[in-house]
Structures are given as structure tokens and as C-alpha cells.
Amino acid sequence: MNIDFQRVLQKAEEYKGDISRFLRDMIAIPSESCNEGRIIARISEEMKKVGFDKIEIDKMGNIIGSIGHGSHIIAMDAHVDTVGLGDKDLWQYDPYKGYEDMEVIIGRGGSDQKGGMASMVYGAKIIKELDMHGDYTLLITGTVQEEECEGLCWQYMINEDKIEPEFVVITEPTSCNIYRGHRGRMEIRVVTHGTSCNGSSQDRGVNAIYKMAPILNELKELNELLPCDNFLGRGTLAVSEIFFTSPSRCAVADSCTISINRRLTGKESYDYALDQIKNLSSIKNMKAEVSIYDYEKASYKGVIYPTAAYFPTWRLDVDHPVCETLVEGYEALFNEEPLVDKWTFSTNGASIMGRYDIPCIGFGPGNEDEAHSPNERTLKSELVKAAAMYAVIPSLYVNRVVKTNKL
């Protein structure tokens, strides 16, 4: 298929107002994890307006809209849940009513990552209007619970909905650069046990908090020894929470629990990261318990789909056909070379490629630094660029596959 890249750009610019209105409508709907029902309904409404061929909401609550009926299954994904607001006093504008001028839209979720959803829907509209159909079926997915458990939605869609695309475009914020991976992560729990007694005679008991102290020191030392990957960066370890149990403030604590946010790099695996901690001398000396947290919260539709809080590392080779497709599209649309890089945070790609080895690539409006911050903002120019890019990716990919098969 021959693609008129300038015509695609013109169409994307024409839809700037529609994309902006749709994004502001979504921002106005609070949609923290496990409470996405209203925004899913709003997305369904927009998909119907644009003319999607098929729209489904699965039992978990993810929305899947499709364009075309070809043999190559291509997916583009945006999670539609957000984090909370934090301190409202830090917001210059109402987080849901937001703010808009000629260049920017401000509001919770604008960058992370309702902007990606707005641009995807209108990228699909461009495909339909310019008759850019080919031998592909494009799935536009709005997924849930990512902020609390990234990739859980795709575990469900792959295992239960039987959706297995040839690749997935992750539309998390990349400032319209091309991202091809990120570090993984784990949520690890360490528990020490003691014996409570009256604090006036603490020698009669065993203080579980004191037992945790040498573990904390050794974990701090371990963080400095973790490996570094040339592309993904360093593995890291941060103690993020501490809890205790005690009969009262006048008693010795009988248990102490810490949470560890472990970022995985390179070939670091689930077992490798857990064993590193289990083998610390302080862990053995204090007979501490080391385990991984589980996620078992119900979706807004009531589905509980338990999973371990393990989110694998993934990386797509720079010469992979999917990465080359996006580079080709970027250069043809914008007449410049793209920056090909990585995220610092984690995405649904942790499941899609990390668990299931389905190739992933990132391209989205918004800046990664805006995620979870007050006055979260998205540039309208990036919404337009993203819509244009999403419109050309499927045809470029199919053209590349057909050309390769002829060689």
C-alpha cells in the first residue's frame, strides 16, 4: 500500500480539536484503578462515533475496539486508570476540570496516559477516512488496573480473551520518541518476628524492629552492588515501606515488615532477585521471611485475577522489524531521525513481552516526567503527531512483512 504521509499529517492536524475535546472529557472522569467503568463507557461512545468495526468490553472491564478484518493482528494499548491526586494544594488548576490553551492540556491522566487513548482513536479514524485498510486487524485497547498492577489486564486478555497480536504499540508517554524496553520490577516483603513484652522491661522480650535494623543496613549495601545494563541502566533496590505489630506503644514489637521496590535490569530474574535477599547474612541470622507480594484486588466489574507482583524486564532489539517499522514511519512523517530510547518506569509491556514474548514498542504523547505529578500536562502538538503515527504503523508493518516474504 502506498501511503500519502502528508495527507495523514493534514488529517491529524484537522482532528486536533476533536482529539483535545475527547482528552478533556476523559480527564474530567475520575478513573483511579478499579474504578474505570465510567471512562470505559466514554471511550466506547467515542469509538462508536468514529466508526469502529467492532467494540467489546471483556469480563474484566477492558475495552477492545477493532478496525479491519485482515490476517495480521496488531494492537495498540493505553491504560485508562490513573493514580490519585495527592496534595490538591499543589495543583494550579482543578485536576479534573483541567486547563487548556492553544498549546497544552492540563489535568490528571492527560499524560499518563489518556492522551495516548485519544490519539489512538483518531489514528483509527484517519485509517478509515483515508481508506488505509490492508491485510490487518487493528485492536485499540483501553486497559484497567495498570497503575496498581501493570500487565495484569494483558495477562487476562491473553489467557482468557485469547488475544495474541503480532506486536503491541504501548502508548505510554514517550514525548513522541520511540521506546523499546524498560527495566522490570518486583514488590518483595521481608518479615522479622520477635516476642512482645512491656517496654519497661524490654529484656524479657525480643524486639522485631531491632532485628530488622541489620537487614536494612545490608539491603542498603546490596543496592550499591547491583548490576548495570548498557541500555536499560542499573538494577536498584529501595525499601519503600515499614510496618510493625505490637500490643501497644508501651510494648516491644513482636513483628516488623518492610516492603522492597526492586528494579530489575538486564538478565536479572525472579529467582535471582529473591535469592540475593534470602542469602544475605542478616536475613539468615535473624531468621527473616522473604516473599513476594500478590495482587488480588477486584476490577470494577468484580473480577479478581490473582498474580504475583513480578513485572519482568523486556527489551526489543533495535533491528527488529517492529522497531524498524516505527523508525521508518517517523522519518517519513516528520522528516527527521527519531530518538530510540527506553522508559524509566514500568508498563503493560512487562506482561506482554516480559511474560509472553509478544514484541512491544513504545510511542506516545506526553512526557514521562509528568506521570503522577501535579499539573500533569500534555502538548497538543504531540497528540497530533501520535495520531498520525498510529495511522501509518499498521500499513507500514504489513508492507514490510509482505516485502520480506517475497525475498
The DSSP secondary-structure symbol of 100 reads E
Q: Who contacts 44 (Cβ-Cβ below 8 Å, separation ≥6)?
A: 55, 57, 63, 65
Residue of 235, 281, 284 whose CA lies nearest to 260: 235
Give burial (CB, 10 Å; 0-12/13-18/19+) of 7. middle
Just list the catalytic residues: 81, 146
The Cα–Cα gap between 312 and 268 comes to 9
**Residue type for position 391:** A
The DSSP secondary-structure symbol of 111 reads I
CB under 8 Å, gap of 24 or more: what pairs does 47-50 form? Answer: 47/121, 47/140, 50/121, 50/122, 50/124, 50/125, 50/128
The Cα–Cα gap between 159 and 254 comes to 42
Give burial (CB, 10 Å; 0-12/13-18/19+) of 90. exposed
